[in-house]
Every structure is written in C-alpha cells, then in structure tokens.
Amino acid sequence: MGQDVRSPRGPRCIALVGPFQSGKTTLLEAILARTGAIKTAGSVDAGTTVGDASPEARHHKMGVGLTAATTTFMGDSYTFIDCPGSIEFAHDMRAALPAVDAAVVVCEADEKKLPQLQIILRELEELGIPRFLFLNKIDRANKRIRETLAILQPASRVPLVLRQIPIWNGDLIEGFVDLALERAFVYREHKPSEVVALEGGNLDREKEARFSMLEKLADHDDALMEQLLEDIQPPRDAVFDDLARELRDGLICPVLLGAACRGNGVLRLMKALRHEAPGVADTAKRLGVPDQKEALAFVFKSTHLQHGGKLSLVRLLAGRLDDGTTLLSSSGESGRVSGILSVSGAHDSKRPSAEAGDTVALGKLDAIRTGDTIASGKVAPASLLNVEPTAPVLSISIAATDRKDDVKLGQALLRLNEEDPSLSMIQNPRTHDTVLWGQGEMHLRVAQERLKDRFGVNVKSHTPAIGYQETIRKPITQRGRHKKQSGGHGQFGDVVLEIKPKPRGSGFEFHEKVVGGAVPRNYIPAVEEGVVDGLTRGPLGFPVIDVDVTLTDGSYHSVDSSDLAFRTAARIGVSEALPQCQPVLLEPIHLVEIVCPTEATAKINAILSARRGQILGFDTREGWSGWDCVRATMPEAEIGDLIVELRSATAGAGSFTRQFDRMAEVTGRAADQIIAAHRDAA
C-alpha cells in the first residue's frame, strides 16, 4: 500500500451510529477493551459500560445522549463518538457528525430496522462523511451474507461493498475471510482472531467474492478495470489504495463483519480505520476550514455538570490550543478556556493543550454554544455550518411541584435547551403554562428526569391546552352602561355597540361612528380596550375571534366619566351581547405532512382517519426509495400524541411536521364535551 495512505493522519474522530439497539455501545466497549483503554468490556444490561453512563441511560438501558471516549491503536489516537440510535435523540448525532472523519454504521440483518438505517445513511451521505458498515451480531446470522447485503442495499445510495465473507461451520459462523488481504481468520472470543489456511470451498468463495469487490472498485478506476478484463491480478497495495480513495470520496460503503458482544471483528475494524479512514486535514477541507496557524474548533455538544460547571465538547480542526487561551466564536461571543480535558466516557483527565485532530472538552466557556465555530485569533471566525434542530412533535405543560422553584425551573430549562437544542420551551400567553416541546415520549420523559436528578427541580406535567376559540353567527346592537357612585367622584360610562360576525380568519376590527360628541374622542381608545377585554373570554369560555365591533353612540358625564369607566362599560356591553349572538366553538386545524416507509402507509391512513383527519393525498417521498409522504388536515386536539402511534406503526422511523391552517366549527355533542371539560378544569 502507498505510504501516503498508511501514514498517520493525526488524531482521528470516528462516529458510531446505527439503528436503535444495534450494538453501538457494546462495540465501543469492545474497541476500548481491545485497545487497552479499559481492562474488560462492560455490559449494557449490567450498567457497567463507558458509553450510556448517565443515570437516564442506565435506567432506560438505551442511549439518550452521545458519549465520547478516546483510545490509542498502533500509536494513533482515536476518539469514538457513540451516538444514540433512537430518532428521538438524533440531534446529538446530527450535531456531532459534521466534525468527524468517518462513521461506523452499526447494524444487523433486520428488515424492520431498514428505514432507521436509511435515515442514518442519508444523513451521512448528505454531509459527505466516509462510512463503514459494521454488520453486527454475525454470530446470530441465519441468512447467507449475499442475502443480507441484498436486504441492506436499498438503504444506501452507494454500493455496499463486502470486505469480508463469513466462514461457516454448519449453521454457525466461526470466522471470516478478508477479501483485501486474502487471508482467513477464525474468531476467538475477546481475543485477536487466529489466521488459518485459506483452502477448499472457502478459497473458491473468496475468489468469487473478491472479484465482485474488485468489479465495484473498478467502476471508478479505469486501470483496475483493464486489469480485470485482461485477467491480471491487481497489486494488493493498489487495492487498498482504491478502497481508501473510494471510501473518502463517498463512492462506496465497505461492509465489515463482527459480533461486538464477543469482541469479534474489532481488530479488523480498527485496522480498516487506521489504513483507510481520512484524517483531520480532509475533514477540515470538507468543512471549508481556511489554512491558518490559529486554533479553530467546532463545538458539537454542551454539558452542564451537576457540580462542575459547563463543558464544551469540541473537535480541533486546525492549530494548537493551550489552556487559558481566549477564544472568539462565530456567534460573536468570547470565553477563556479554563481546563482542557481528554474525554473517556465519564472519566476525563486534564491536559495542557490540544492539537489539530484532537477531540476534547473545554471548561467554563459559558457564552459559547453548541454549533459555534471557535478560534484563537483576534477576529471572530465564520460559522462552518448550522445544524438546525428537527421540528418538535410532542409537548407537555410542566410546572415546578413547589412554587418557590419556579425561577430554578426556568434556569434549568435554559440549560437543558443549551445541551439539547431539539428541546424547546414556550410560554402559553393564554394559560400562562410553560410548554416543553420535544422529539417524542421518551425524549420528554428523560428531560423531566434530568430536571429532577441533575438540577434538583421536581416537576408535574399535564397535557397542554388546545387553542380553542369561539365566534358568533348573529349580529346585534347592545348598550353597555357602567354607573357607580360611592361618595366624591363617581364612575360613568355609556356606549352603544354594533357587533357583527366577520368571515373566518379575518380577525377583529374596531370602528367608531359617533356623532355629536356623544362619546368624547379621548375616551374612544378606552372603549376599544374594553371591547378587547370582553372578547378575551366568550360565553363558551374561550377567546372570541372574527368579530367586527362599531361604537355608534353613548353618553358621558362631565365629572364622573373616565377612561376606566368607558372601558368597563364597553366590556359589559360585549359580555352581555355575545350570548345573544349564537356563539359557536372553533377548533384549530393543522396541515400535517407525514413521512413513512411505504409498507406502513396503509396503517398511517387508518390512523389519520381514526383521528378525524382528512387525507389530502400522498406521493413517493422525493429522493427516498421505499418511502411515502402523506398529507392531511387534522384537528389540533387529535395531533397531541400522534407521534407515539406513528412511531409504533413505523418501527420508530416515521415522523411528521405540522402547520396551522385554519379554525373550523365544532358542533353537537363534540362541542358540548369540549365546553364541559373546559368548565370543569377552570
């Protein structure tokens, strides 16, 4: 192999990604154990792994945030980023991916997980990140490798190229043949595999599979194509060069075999990463980092420790960074580094500096946020990229169990949002509730657990209020009169209001047609304020919209009239008029767009129909093989937990976006039930 390919390319950063429960954390343990970073591999079930070490991850036995761990292999430094597999926690993966050199996609031969695999591969493809596919749990395989590859290929837009084929012993796989090295290996549990003779049927299978691998490489190498046509065996170094180049250029996705729980296939994976994965110089070029001597890094994760302040996880893309350096960010903020830490799960160690390629945690950069580009120069760096959070799909209203913790809750929510921008908070102006939005049921549950365990705030939650409103069908002219005498100056206001319905969606309008000074002009703004007060809560219990109110007449007292008196009179007039105007309940209707695997489309249509949805149509999802996009309108009240049912019907892969469309009338029993429930809750 050419020396330029095998030479060290600085500290490497590798993402471990893959569908939920594919074995990423177990693979990280196997890598750390095989490279000597830990004595023995831990277990997810026993809660002893370096990855998924947070209390929430241990409790739920699943990744709920990324873990970074650094080790060395054959003299080179590698930081592995173990990313959550659940779509609900995918933002951590999406924020980290741009800064990695390559990704190892951990998967298994499970057709149900194919849509999740496709989502992850699409993310890598669009970012231009070189990727290996590690076919895990090979010890449980019940299909031939070519059958498995045929199942997985639709998830990838580039060819999946087999680097290894299994050695079968009856119905069990006992080893593999490396097609690039042309050597056979027998697995030994938690030990390096043993080289064995390549002979008999395994030799025949190797020749056929190797030729197939070379054919795919030759699609992008004319010289190799000529050698194959002339039946000339290409030099082994040239094959490795092609594998590295086509991986780096995103032309292929090499497939390696293994069983992480037994430590099988780990050494071959590490050697493939060492020889073929690009280094930080290639990553910096992909991100458009200019040539510079100053330190430049990308912040891919922020964490607030319970007793240790804030840590910013960064990938240093250029230059050297020393402790105490002042950094400027692309968002215009600045901060002085107070501690540089090597990362290894929950166990970090201090170091005096970091070099290009290192992945480290920086202390006390309080103003620096996830997604920032930071540099040590005197000029703020340009932003390398902007990772937008996925639109939230589920919400809950939360409040501190103890009211004295309200301020503490607000601060904790801000820190949670800084750690995970895919969580967002809004204040409902009508109910004054704090509404927490997230990516699903587990996402919101973990957020509440973090509020309690890390920030010491117990919260209670309930389903957020639906934005019901009401309007009127019948016009009316109504007098509103307020008169009060309590010694000294009294209060007097008198108005005549003409109230009429307006077309749906046209909002509220106020006019005045007073003649002869019946209501002095300086009181007219107060009358409008009183009208708005009266529309805040209609006879059905909800805000009133789409109403035209005109002040036509009234009277005043030269001493007792005031802004307050006329405001009160107008509110009284509106409140007395609305019950006579045939009030009608309105509910918000949203446009909903669902993306789902094609085999789940019929289920999705049934779910929408059961939730009073009106299906507008569906098409194939543009650029996504085997996916559909379903469009419908749905009442807001039916969207609340839609994502829970949607994910259940799509093996966790489906999602949706929504946009307010209009307000629509609710009549009959449905309206009576909504009004009664609202009154009971008031």
Domain boundaries, the chain: 3-284, 290-375, 394-462, 469-581, 586-681
> Residue 518 is encoded by which pair of tokens?
């019946």
Is a pLDDT exceeding 90 seen at residue 170?
no
Q: What is the pLDDT of residue 3?
A: 36
Helix axis angle, 266-276 to 236-248, nearest 10° = 80
Reply yes or no on whether the pLDDT at 171 is more than 90.
no
Q: What is the mean pLDDT of residues 25-46?
A: 94
- pTM of structure: 0.91
* C-alpha dihedral (311, 316, 322, 326), degrees to nearest 10: -70
Share of the chain above pLDDT 90, in %: 85
Judged against a pLDDT cut of 90, whether residue 519 lies above it is answered with yes
Question: Domain 469-581 is in which class?
Answer: alpha beta
State the pLDDT at residue 7.
43
> Helix and strand tally (H, E) in the chain?
19, 34
Fold equal for 394-462 and 586-681 = yes
pLDDT at 6 over 50: no
pLDDT, tens digit, 9 for 90 and up, residues 283-301: 999 999 988 889 999 999 9
At residue 306, the pLDDT reads 77
Q: Which residues pair with 79 in a beta bridge?
A: 13, 70
Q: Assign domain 586-681 one CATH number from 3.30.70.240, 3.40.630.10, 3.30.450.20, 3.40.640.10.
A: 3.30.70.240
Give the C-alpha separation, 239 to 570, whole Å: 85
Is residue 3 within a helix (H) or strand (E), and if so which, with residue range? helix 3-6
190/552: higher pLDDT:
552
CATH architecture of the domain 3-284 equals: 3-Layer(aba) Sandwich (3.40)
Write down the pLDDT at residue 681: 76
Output the pLDDT for position 308. Answer: 74
- The reported pLDDT for the residue numbered 216 is 95
- C-alpha span between 526 and 143 (Å, rounded): 78
pLDDT tens digits for range 68-109:
999 999 999 999 999 999 999 999 999 999 999 999 999 998
Which CB contacts under 8 angstroms, 24+ apart, belong to 153-158? Answer: 154/114, 154/118, 154/625, 154/626, 155/114, 155/117, 155/118, 155/121, 156/118, 156/121, 156/125, 156/253, 157/121, 157/122, 157/125, 158/125, 158/250, 158/251, 158/252, 158/253
State the fold for domain 290-375: Elongation Factor Tu (Ef-tu); domain 3 (2.40.30)
Select the CATH number that applies to the domain covering 394-462 from these four: 3.30.70.20, 3.30.70.870, 3.40.920.10, 3.30.70.260: 3.30.70.870
Mean pLDDT of the chain, nearest integer: 93
Q: What's the DSSP call for residue 463?
A: P
Q: What is the pLDDT of residues 203-213, one digit of tens each?
A: 999 999 999 99
CB-based contact 50:69 (threshold 8 Å): yes
For 43-106, give the secondary structure using H, E and C: CCCCCCCCCCCCHHHHHHCCCCCCEEEEEEECCEEEEEEECCCCHHHHHHHHHHHHHCCEEEEE
Q: Could you count the other beta carbons within 10 Å of the beta carbon of residue 556?
A: 20
Buried b (16+ CB within 10 A) or exposed e, 233-261: ebeeebbbbbbbbbbbebbbbbbbbbbbb
Model confidence over 435-492: pLDDT tens digits? Answer: 999 999 999 999 999 999 999 999 999 999 999 999 999 999 999 999 987 766 789 9
pLDDT score at 435? 96
